Amino acid sequence: MTKYVIKGGKKLIGETCVSSAKNAVLPIIAAATLTDEDVTIKDCPEIADVFCMIKILESVGAAVSFKNGDLTISAKSIDRFSVKSDLCGKLRSSIYMLGALFPRFKNVCVAYPGGCNIGKRPIDIHLNVVKSFGGDVDERDNGAFCRAEKLVGADVTLCFPSVGATENALMLASLARGDSIIRNAAREPEVKDLADFLNSMGAKIKGAGEKTVYVTGVKKLHGTVYKPIPDRIEAGTFLLAAAIAGGEIAVRGACAQNIVPLLDKLRQNACNLSVENDIIHIKSGIRRKPFSLVTGPYPSFPTDLQAQTLVLAALSEGESVIRENIFENRFSVAEELRRMGADVKVYGNAAIVNGVKSLYGGVVGASDLRGGAALCLAGLAAEGETVVLNARHVERGYAAFTEKLGSLGADIAVAED
């Protein structure tokens, strides 16, 4: 079992660079199978979720090469249309294989996906999208079987602006016959990035990043070379690390306009922020102030930064209120933070946080990706030594996490039991 050992109390100083966005790369990897020509993804992050997605592609017959940060995919050799349950069970993003394989082969079986234990994330919305484009869906205990003679353009209204469902709809619509409209679409930057990737392959998508997206289907997509957008969640995590541990750092390769709600909270928390092109500079404040935030679909505060921000609230003077409107089980980190001395009470989808002067090191366990990162940030500020168990969760989504923190002056080491 991988664990992180952190000795707190060291301020962060220096510069780090963010990787390409995990939440952009995973659907792009799946979408690379929409063509039988080679696709190369530049600067692909070396994280566990990417390697899991590679195994999924290889399991259906695709050829994959990952060298020097460039991931090249050839889907010409795909000869299987059933994604194994043991692979799907490890990764929520395996659901993207539904929208990726179905348009080309009109036949796909996808086992129910896994991923972080942060609450119910049903796939009904994805299957309804498939039905909208003319697919027949047979749900069984071990997965969903989808078939169609042809895919036809559709006018789809999502019941919720789901990122995954929007992205599956984009893939399906790109190769469907005729025009499609996707209403109540997710507006996240990663959705727009997938649309830009598909357009670079010859798709005809307009309006991605807005509530209504228009797609004209094409007969065939071609290969491409593409560099995904920077990871706004990683950028936010490092900015929060500086705000929590104290210090002054620069985060290079970030896109400030994609994390405006976080930057606003950091400024409210007495942090000094400045933006210069793709570099965000932060200097921690002397007196941390309480705040309130509500997570929601983009452009609201991102749920993937909620747990890390909870740590900041735990060290801010006064009472902060955090409401989680995306997942119902995303306060699991609260119990672990209480072990470190935090005063956090959870009531349904709300956490009431009364700030304390100090956190204290101890042995805590990560149960999901972002919660694990949050515990690491707490360890940076805590007195004494903090051991974060199940650190493999963090490695699912952050490339060279301990190395980057170490380069900023953090005392963090990887150990194996």
Residues tagged active-site: 116
Give the whole-angstrom CA distance, residue 185 versus residue 32: 22
Do residues 143 and 109 make contact, with C-beta atoms less than 8 angstroms apart? Answer: yes
Q: What SS3 class is residue 280?
A: strand
Q: Count, in order, helices (H) and strands (E) of the chain.
A: 14, 24
Tokens coding 84: 């194994």
Which structure tokens are listed for 93? 């993003």
Between the CA of residue 412 and those of 238, 315, 400, what are the distances in Å? 14, 20, 12
Helix (H, G, I), strand (E, B) or coil at 204: strand
Please count the other Cβ atoms lying within 10 Å of the Cβ belonging to residue 71.
24
Are 34 and 246 in contact, with CB atoms under 8 Å apart? no
Please state the separation of Cα 26 from the chain's center in Å: 9
Residue 7, C-beta contacts closer than 8 angstroms, at least 6 positions apart: 361, 384, 385, 386, 411, 412
Please give the Cα distance from 121 to 335 (Å, whole number). Answer: 22
Q: How many residues does the chain have?
A: 417
Helices 260-268 and 232-245 meet at what angle, rounded to 10? Answer: 10
Q: Is the peptide bond before 299 cis (omega within 30 degrees of 0)?
A: yes
Under a CB-based contact definition with an 8 Å cutoff, are residues 315 and 287 in contact?
no
Q: What residues have CB less than 8 Å from 202, skipping those under 6 apart?
A: 218, 220, 221, 222
Q: Which amino acid is at 286?
A: I
